[in-house]
Amino acid sequence: MTIDVSLDTTVPHWIAGAAVPPTNGPRADIHDPATGRVVRTVVLGGADAVEEAVADARTAAEAWAATPAPARASVLHRFRALMIEHTDELAALITSEQGKTIADARGEIARSIEAVDVSLSVVQQLKGEYADQVANGVDTYSFRQPLGVCAGITPFNFPVMVPVSMFTAAIACGNAFVLKPSERVPSRRFGWHR
């Protein structure tokens, strides 16, 4: 998979794992910070788009919460591998929209991979606890359950690291996630925007 950062395209919303066709609603230009040239446009979402995304996430959350933690970890391992495999392309995309140097953008990808590692460690901490006889005839136990749908509104200055640290933690714990990236750096081409 390649990312062509030179294409003039419209960045759509991604809902239910698919691009939502652009509407006639408002759009914003995405500029290459090095040249000022418009490189893409993004569809700006309103309440309808948010409601659709959250409704889909609620549906997805039910099945995802029932997915065993090791299976969720397997998905994160695959995502981690894809980030490593496509580091240069992701760095080029960050540079084209956010303006970081390639070296700094690669560093952001490295920190994002570390965030995935942290989320993977959470899987082992999801186990509940049982304590026998904490008092006369009293046992205690705890268990962890997903919350459902989590959401993140992320800044322009870390367009990969902040979303990755948010959504990998949420999905590792069995939640669905709705991301609202900055309209200044919205391009996602790897499927991790879903």
Pairing of strands 149-153, 176-180: parallel
Domains of the chain are: 9-180 (3.40.605.10)
pLDDT at position 141: 87
Token pair, residue 87, equals 């580091």
Instruction: Give the model's pLDDT for residue 4.
Output: 45
Write down the pLDDT at residue 106. Answer: 97
- The Cα 149–Cα 3 span in angstroms is 29
At 7 the pLDDT is 45
Host H or E run for residue 96: helix 87-98
Q: What is the pLDDT of residue 189?
A: 45
- DSSP structural state of residue 4: -
pLDDT at 86 (0 to 100): 95
Per-10-residue mean pLDDT of the chain, 194 residues long, equals 51 84 80 84 86 95 94 96 95 88 96 96 83 90 90 91 96 95 71 38
Angle between helices 69-85 and 87-98 (to 10 degrees): 70
Cβ proximity of 11 and 98 under 8 Å: no
What per-residue confidence (pLDDT) applies to 165?
96
At 39-63, the pLDDT tens digits run: 888 888 888 889 999 999 999 999 9
